[in-house]
Amino acid sequence: MKLTGNTVFITGGGSGIGRALAEALHQRGNKIIIAGRRRAQLDEVVAANPGIDAVELDVANPASIEAVAADLIARYPTLNVLFNNAGVMLMDNAAGVMDEKTLQTHIAINLLGPIRLTSALIEHLKQQKQATLLYNTSTLAFTPLAPFAVYSATKAALHSFVMSQRFLLRDTSVKVQEIAPPWVATGLVGDANDPRAMRLDHFVEGTLAALETDAEEVLVDEALVYRNNPGPKEHAFVTELNTFMTKELAAA
């Protein structure tokens, strides 16, 4: 992906990775439009970054997606980058009775939201000379974390969808890249200042460097051990990771 001269729409742009990448790309001369459910967060980003625009969007609501997509196409005809970043990460208990709201929230926001939004904008993106679809999945798409079983499963499902979509778009002007973060200090889970998590500024720096290479999977070095996990020894690796992380989460 070229890092300048784009018109970029970023969901979940009011905080965390979404905001950090929105600001970094804004500084590189891109037109940035962020989206989210919380108007106050969006307004804070806009006030801190003159030139960034914001729209309210509920990615769990198909009607909201359709309305925002139509508005984007009308107001930003040069829109050529969609970054499906919005997500939710809630603990669950796969060994017990699952909470229905937790199930539906994860699926609606983490999986159906990106698929629906991409569907609403894909024909517009195909008309651009150069376009990019970006997805924020997770290293947990490759190495599930047991206390977040449903979150991990939705990210694995999105990773699978991205691979299929990339193949189907191979002869078009639309490139598909997947950002798979490790544990980044954003507050999505745990303390935003937890020293065990990767610093957000370091993550953004590494991610932008990888994005510019047109890599299909955008991975910082800290993510590689999890991405390289699938294989014959997958179960042992997952057991070891979960044993360690369960103790860490309990101590936090």
**Residue 1 falls within a domain, yes or no?**
no
- Which among 147, 119, 143 is positioned nearest to 133, based on CA atoms? 119
**Residue 172 falls within a domain, yes or no?**
yes
Please give the Cα distance from 108 to 119 (Å, whole number).
15
**Could you tell me if 9 and 79 are in contact, meaning their C-beta atoms sit under 8 angstroms apart?**
yes
Domain span at residue 109 reads 7-251
Per-residue pLDDT of the chain (252 residues; tens, 9 = 90+): 999 999 999 999 999 999 999 999 999 999 999 999 999 999 999 999 999 999 999 999 999 999 999 999 999 999 999 999 999 999 999 999 999 999 999 999 999 999 999 999 999 999 999 999 999 999 999 999 999 999 999 999 999 999 999 999 999 999 999 999 998 988 776 666 777 889 999 999 999 999 999 899 999 999 998 888 767 777 787 788 888 888 887 876
Q: What is the pLDDT of residue 190?
A: 63
Q: 76, 135, 151, 226: which one is catalytic?
A: 151
**Residue 151 falls within a domain, yes or no?**
yes
The CATH number given to whatever domain includes residue 28 is: 3.40.50.720
Q: What is the pLDDT of residue 251?
A: 77
**Residue 66 falls within a domain, yes or no?**
yes
**Does residue 226 have an active-site annotation?**
no
171: alpha, beta or left, given left = phi > 0 and alpha = psi -120 to 50? alpha
**Residue 2 falls within a domain, yes or no?**
no
Q: What is the pLDDT of residue 63?
A: 98
**Residue 144 falls within a domain, yes or no?**
yes
Looking at the whole model, is its pTM more than 0.85? Answer: yes
Please count the structural domains in the chain. Answer: 1
The gap between the terminal CA atoms of the chain, to the nearest Å, is: 38
**Residue 115 falls within a domain, yes or no?**
yes
Q: What is the pLDDT of residue 130?
A: 97
**Residue 134 falls within a domain, yes or no?**
yes
Residues 6+ apart with CB under 8 A from 138: 151, 152, 155, 180, 181
